[in-house]
Amino acid sequence: MMDSKSEELVVLPLVARIVQTPTAAVDASNSEGADFLIYDVGGNSQHEELVSSVFEHVKIPVFVMVGSLGDRKLFSEALNLLESGVSGVVISMEDLKSVSDDDFGKLFYSAYALKNKTEEKVQSNSQLNVLDLGNGFPGRKAMAGFTSLHDREQQLLEKEKLVLREAIHVIEKAAPMMEEVSLLSDAVSQLDEPFLLVIVGEFNSGKSTFINALLGKKYLKDGVVPTTNEITFLRYAESDVDESQRCEKHPDGQYVCYLPASVLNDMIIVDTPGTNVILQRQQKLTEEFVPRADLLLFVMSADRPLTESEVNFLRYTQQWSKKVVFVLNKSDIYQNKGELEVAIGFIKENTQKLLNTDCVTLYPVSARLALEAKLSTFDDAHSQSNRSSNDNFHWKTKGFYELEKYLYGFLDASTSTGIERMKLKLGTPIAIAEQLVSACQGLVRQECQQAKQDLLFVEDLVNSVKECTKKLEIDSILWKRQVLSMINSTQARVVRLVESTLQLSNVDLVTSYVFRGEKSTQMPATTSVQNDILGPAVLEGQNLLGEYTKWLQSKRDQEGQFYKQSFEKKWTSFVNPSDQVELDAIGVLERKSEVSRRVIEDFSAAAASKLFEREIREVFLGTFGGLGAAGLSASLLTSVLPTTLEDLLALGLCSAGGLLAVSNFSSRRQQVVDKVKRTADGLARELEDAMQKDLLETTRTVEDFVKVIGKPYQDRAQHRLDKVLATAEELTKIEKKLKALRIDIQNLHVS
Ligand SMILES: Nc1nc2c(ncn2[C@@H]2O[C@H](COP(=O)(O)OP(=O)(O)OP(=O)(O)O)[C@@H](O)[C@H]2O)c(=O)[nH]1
């Protein structure tokens, strides 16, 4: 076992410890992990000590070495120890020769008598002594340290039921729509029932006749046309009941028939409808029943062995890893043994390939002859003996009796087939559970994938708002350009007005500014700047920014709608589950940002015009306020000259003082122009910032809106993913438990 390379191997080697004292025995059993002990008595009688100190405390098998059994004293010591419940006596091959057959008999008898004695005691009195306890296991009916196979089976059975119930719970949670879980529930309740031998095969292959032959009486109908249309359980009944009450039909359509055939004592035989493509309903019924079978008896007809539909059916049974025993029925139709062997060879070769195994069990039988023989045994013993002498008859009936022997072996737990029966029975629900768990794992994997995709979808959608922000930003450039160009053209017009107003040749203006001073009424240039330039420009700006704000709001609503619809389209069944979310989302969308509009509204054309006038006035006053009549006359002179240079020339000709005074005029005018430009630039910057603020606020609103409406979807997807992952973990755990259970079952063996 240690050398085995097989990864499948799960059987660990047994560890034996040789001990000489009770303390060493207890230590080896409790903490050193020995599987059994060999207690070296070493010729000193330690009977009492062994019983009180070792058997009571050690929970593993204890074998004793007493020395040569040829010695009468040691021999009787060995007998005493065996009777006290020791698991066995270790003896060398050399010493074995010195033990007579008679003494051997006594040794075995003492062990056997002990077993019977303890069983009787258990039945008659629950007060168990040390021997009955089997080293501390109350209720054990076997020798020291051993758990009987029956007890082991019971322990496994209880453990299996717990694991399977847990599996049902996990499966129902993982796949609530999986109807097949009822198969598992049925199989669990079937665990307490006898072994389920299920007879399958194509219609007319002789299943009913075969079952009758097994039962020894013609209980079932047979015939050349399909006779079995429902699943029929054949169960044991004490005596032949009244004909009308013999069979019960259950709500699921299955029949249960109670028969007094002894073979049904330890197994239930199930007759199934014949399989064949043309009998679809029957085929389905039988297929659905296959998982519940502990053993499948696959009946084939010798006149058409291994048809295509049989091959398909066989393949199907392998999905459930069912053990199949093949029965080649009607083998009486072969002329001789040679023909039969050819047929057997053909079937074996092909089924071996199909089942991918070298080990195919096949019994050639003649159910008809076997039944006839059984029926005639009772009323025609003579004819039976005649038949038995007939070699031809013998090979035709031999197979059936061999199969019968095999099946009876199944009922005896002390044989290897008996152990196999236990393993098959315990394995049936496990195979179903494994299949269902694996199907659930497939579903859960898909669901997990889906949940991850959903989560990703929500995250992608929420993140895609950033793209929308970029797009808006690009589109908003156009708006900004419009506003800037409006400011630019206004500024240009004002500058032009400044330049045309601030002319020395503007005699009227000069006169009115210089002589009327502050008291002068509003100048035409100021009126023009307010009415013709700034007033209309502010109006235009207000309109433009009003449009801009509206555009932003419509974009915000459009985007919001787009995201809302995207979520709703993806999860049609889950449209904003909570009113609160709806309210929050509306609240977000109601947020308005109109910073840029406020900026333009706060800009007063009248105030700006006043400022303009003051600037103009200051330039004139600063220039002409100190000039005398000469300067003024020069100025008058220049009124006919169009340009500044000419102005200056004229002034220069008229008066040196005038020249000095007005020489600053052009730079003052430039200062006003610069001031106008600065003011316009400042306003442009302020508006641009305000527009950017509005834009950012709008995109933030869209982002917040998408987050609010996306949250329930995101939570839902995350919750679903968490749930699916938790279910996947539960499935893995139960899968491991089932595997461990399967290994325990595989390790069942006769002690
Ligand atoms: N020669 C021969 N005929 C058999 C044998 N066993 C059954 N038959 C015949 O085969 C026919 C079909 O037998 P059934 O036992 O009804 O077959 P079945 O498989 O139960 O049929 P369905 O229940 O319809 O699926 C009957 O006519 C039987 O007499 C046999 O061993 N040898």
pLDDT digits (tens, 9 = 90+) for 468-523: 888 888 999 999 999 899 989 988 988 888 788 777 666 666 666 665 555 556 66
Distance of CA 463 to the CA centre of its chain: 28
| Distances, alpha carbon 618 to alpha carbons 101, 559, 611, 638, 671, in Å | 147, 54, 10, 21, 11
Protein residues with CB under 6 Å of any ligand 1 atom: 201, 203-209, 222-224, 226-228, 274, 329-330, 332-333, 366-368
The CA dihedral of 577, 580, 582, 587, to the nearest 10 degrees, is -160
Query: Measured on CA atoms in the order 275, 281, 285, 288, is the torsion positive or negative?
Result: positive
256: helix, strand or coil? strand
Residue 435: partners with Cβ closer than 8 Å, 6 or more residues away: 291, 319, 320
> For ligand 1, atom 10, which residue shows the shortest CA distance?
206
Cα 694 to Cα 591: distance, rounded to the nearest angstrom: 11
Atom of ligand 1 nearest to the CA of 205: 19
Exposed, middle or buried, 300 (CB in 10 Å: 0-12/13-18/19+)?
buried
Distance of CA 633 to the CA centre of its chain: 103
- With vertex at residue 323, the alpha carbon angle to CA 223 and CA 298, rounded to the nearest 5 degrees, is 15
> For ligand 1, atom 8, which residue shows the shortest CA distance?
206
Ligand 1 centroid to Cα of residue 327, in Å, is 13
- pTM, full prediction: 0.63
Mutational pocket test of ligand 1: of 271, 279, 286, 368, the residue with most ligand atoms within 8 Å of the beta carbon: 368
Judge whether 603 and 683 are in contact, CB under 8 Å: yes
Ligand 1 centroid to Cα of residue 304, in Å, is 13
Atom of ligand 1 nearest to the CA of 221: 16
Strands (E) located in 154-310: 195-201, 232-236, 247-249, 255-259, 267-271, 295-301
Cα 98 to Cα 131: distance, rounded to the nearest angstrom: 29
DSSP string for residues in 396-450 = HHHHHHHHHHHHHHHH-TTSHHHHHHHHHHHHHHHHHHHHHHHHHHHHHHHHHHH
**Nearest residue to 326 (alpha-carbon basis) of 287, 290, 352:** 352
707: helix, strand or coil? helix
DSSP string for residues in 476-545 = HHHHHHHHHHHHHHHHHHHHHHHHHHS-TT-HHHHHHHHHHGGGS---HHHHHIIIIIIHHHHHHHHHHH
Ligand 1 centroid to Cα of residue 259, in Å, is 21
Atom of ligand 1 nearest to the CA of 212: 15
Cα 401 to Cα 388: distance, rounded to the nearest angstrom: 13
> For ligand 1, atom 9, which residue shows the shortest CA distance?
206
Cβ-count burial 575-599 (b if 16+ within 10 Å, e if not): ebeeeebeebbeebbeeebbbbbeb
Task: Specify the pLDDT at position 131.
Answer: 32
Residue 16 corresponds to which amino acid?
Answer: A
The CA dihedral of 536, 541, 546, 549, to the nearest 10 degrees, is 180
Atom of ligand 1 nearest to the CA of 333: 1
- With vertex at residue 654, the alpha carbon angle to CA 649 and CA 660, rounded to the nearest 5 degrees, is 70
Ligand 1 centroid to Cα of residue 369, in Å, is 11
Cα 665 to Cα 670: distance, rounded to the nearest angstrom: 9
Strands (E) located in 283-383: 295-301, 324-329, 361-364
Ligand 1 centroid to Cα of residue 225, in Å, is 9
Ligand 1 centroid to Cα of residue 350, in Å, is 24
Atom of ligand 1 nearest to the CA of 365: 31
H or E element at residue 571? none
Ligand 1 centroid to Cα of residue 298, in Å, is 14
Mutational pocket test of ligand 1: of 207, 222, 228, 366, the residue with most ligand atoms within 8 Å of the beta carbon: 222
Mutational pocket test of ligand 1: of 198, 199, 209, the residue with most ligand atoms within 8 Å of the beta carbon: 209
Tokens of 231: 């699943």
> For ligand 1, atom 21, which residue shows the shortest CA distance?
204
Ligand 1 centroid to Cα of residue 247, in Å, is 21
Parallel, antiparallel, or unpaired for β 361-364 and 324-329? parallel
Ligand 1 centroid to Cα of residue 540, in Å, is 103
Atom of ligand 1 nearest to the CA of 366: 31
> For ligand 1, atom 14, which residue shows the shortest CA distance?
206
Tokens of 468: 């929308």
Cα 480 to Cα 281: distance, rounded to the nearest angstrom: 77
Ligand 1 centroid to Cα of residue 330, in Å, is 8
Residue 143 corresponds to which amino acid?
Answer: M
> For ligand 1, atom 30, which residue shows the shortest CA distance?
330
> For ligand 1, atom 1, which residue shows the shortest CA distance?
330
**Nearest residue to 191 (alpha-carbon basis) of 747, 741, 750:** 741
Ligand 1 centroid to Cα of residue 204, in Å, is 5
Ligand 1 centroid to Cα of residue 212, in Å, is 11
> For ligand 1, atom 12, which residue shows the shortest CA distance?
204
Ligand 1 centroid to Cα of residue 221, in Å, is 10
Atom of ligand 1 nearest to the CA of 273: 25
> How many other CB atoms sit within 10 Å of the CB of residue 503?
19
Judge whether 38 and 58 are in contact, CB under 8 Å: no
Tokens of 188: 């669990």
Distance of CA 535 to the CA centre of its chain: 71
Ligand 1 centroid to Cα of residue 463, in Å, is 72
**Stretches in the chain below the pLDDT threshold 50:** 1, 9, 118-146, 244-245, 381-382, 384-389, 628-642, 649-650, 652-654, 751
The reply to whether ipTM tops 0.95 is: yes
- With vertex at residue 544, the alpha carbon angle to CA 539 and CA 546, rounded to the nearest 5 degrees, is 95
> For ligand 1, atom 24, which residue shows the shortest CA distance?
226
323: helix, strand or coil? coil
Cα 563 to Cα 453: distance, rounded to the nearest angstrom: 17
Tokens of 425: 């029975």
Mutational pocket test of ligand 1: of 200, 202, 204, 272, the residue with most ligand atoms within 8 Å of the beta carbon: 204
Parallel, antiparallel, or unpaired for β 232-236 and 267-271? antiparallel
> What is the side-by-side strand order in the sheet with 232-236?
247-249, 255-259, 232-236, 267-271, 195-201, 295-301, 324-329, 361-364
> For ligand 1, atom 2, which residue shows the shortest CA distance?
330
> For ligand 1, atom 17, which residue shows the shortest CA distance?
206
Residue 72: partners with Cβ closer than 8 Å, 6 or more residues away: none
Cα 329 to Cα 365: distance, rounded to the nearest angstrom: 5
Mutational pocket test of ligand 1: of 199, 208, 231, the residue with most ligand atoms within 8 Å of the beta carbon: 208
Atom of ligand 1 nearest to the CA of 299: 19
Q: How many residues does the chain have?
A: 751
Judge whether 164 and 433 are in contact, CB under 8 Å: yes
Distance of CA 748 to the CA centre of its chain: 33
DSSP secondary-structure letter at 639? T
Tokens of 11: 């059987």
Tell me phi and psi for residue 149, to 5 degrees.
-60, -40
